[in-house]
Structure 1
Amino acid sequence: MLPKSAAVLIWVLGIVSFSFTSAQTINLPTLKPGIFEASARIEIDAPLLDVWNVLLDFPAYSEWNPFVRSQVVADHFRVPTPDQVVEEDRRLIIKVQIPPLQNPVDANSPSNPFHSQVSLENITHIDVGNRRMAWRAIFLPEQLLDSERWQALSTSEEGKTLYEAREIFRGPLSHVVDALFAKGLQDGFDAQAVALKTRTENQ
């Protein structure tokens, strides 16, 4: 008979293994591992193109997104572009709430100044064919903190739209981000996924 401690360890490893398998991504690319990550995955009963268009409509994020309250496309001088067209190698000025606001939100929902964070990102991928988008933080040297966020859509086995998001943090300062913001970031990813589902299913 196994010692009690060994049995508990096997049970825990079994749960971890099951969780990892059940959370396998469908349309996200394979990424270099990091110190920690936040992710979300949800099925949406709405056409894939409708969900894609909502994700790309950055000016409307304040109307529904409890996590990303503002996402502005800018040029290399950080000046917002008049057209707000999402293109590779443009900048993003992102304002988030960590932890997120309580769902539901609208454009008039006040942000909590104590939970507000701003980041500058570079749009690295807009893959319309595969319904993927990605950006990378550039407000600090990559050797100190490298964060890469991907979002992707695909069609699930049930014929619904599958939304996936994943952000990986690398570099020495990611340990600090992990200690201070890991739970809030994960809550933010989860809240955005639920809000995206509500937004697109109710259109």
Structure 2
Amino acid sequence: MVPRRTMTLVTPAKAPLADQTAAVGAHILMRVHMLPTMGEPEGMFGVNSAFCVITHIDADAHRAAWKTAGTPAWLLRSERWQALSIDETTGKTRYETVEVFGGILAYVTSHFFGDKLRVAFRAFADTLKVRADSEQS
């Protein structure tokens, strides 16, 4: 089973927006299904959500970033940067992402969800790359 992720632009009260065009300051509600590990049944800690605000969009450089919203930064904060470019050697899409966590719960998140997050990020990257390569052709 491949992790599934949905991203919906929402109001600060988490109501879906009619216009799903990303913009700086817009809020995103992400629902992520992560794979079970360590023998836990599917569904136990399997579906998680994140509420974020878009902090940066650079269409010309194909970059975007968002950070957590609605959680005190001292408790848990994260910021994720993503960029797409063309690999000059292969002509294929290159996808780069960095996510940084901070706050007291960053350690708890890393311990309990670190491996699952890495698998989910890899699946997201692979899916995005396939789509970008297919649209490039």
Give the TM-score of the pair, scaled to structure 1.
Answer: 0.58
Residues 153-192 of structure 1: pairs in structure 2 closer than 5 A: 153-158=84-89, 159-192=91-124
- Selected match of 1:84 from 3, 6, 20: 20
Q: Which residue of 1 aligns with 2:56?
A: 125
Structure 1 vs Structure 2: percent identity of aligned residues?
A: 35
Kindly indicate whether structure 1 or structure 2 has the higher relative contact order, using CA contacts under 8 Å at least 6 residues apart.
1
| Secondary structure class of the residue paired with 2:110 | helix
> Deviations along 1:71-107, whole A, 9 cap, x unmatched?
100122222110111111011000012238xxxxxxx
Residues 1-203 of structure 1: pairs in structure 2 closer than 5 A: 66-99=2-35, 112-114=42-44, 115-158=46-89, 159-202=91-134
Deviation (angstroms), 1:202: 4.4
Bigger helix fraction = 1
Q: Quick check: which has more Rg, 1 or 2?
A: 1
Unaligned runs of 5+ in 2: 37-41
Unaligned runs of 5+ in 1: 1-65, 101-111
Does the 8 Å contact 2:83/2:97 carry over to 1?
Answer: yes
Q: Which amino acid aligns with 1:169?
A: F
Give the TM-score of the pair, scaled to structure 2.
Answer: 0.83
Deviation (angstroms), 1:134: 0.8
Q: Distance in 2 between matches of 1:81 and 1:175?
A: 33
Q: Distance in 1 between matches of 2:26 and 2:4?
A: 18
Q: Which residue of 2 aligns with 1:37?
A: none
Bigger strand fraction = 2
Q: Distance in 2 between matches of 1:78 and 1:156?
A: 37
Q: Which amino acid aligns with 1:139?
A: G
Number of aligned positions between the proteins: 127
Does the 8 Å contact 1:71/1:92 carry over to 2?
Answer: yes
Does the 8 Å contact 2:93/2:132 carry over to 1?
Answer: no
Q: Which residue of 2 aligns with 1:19?
A: none
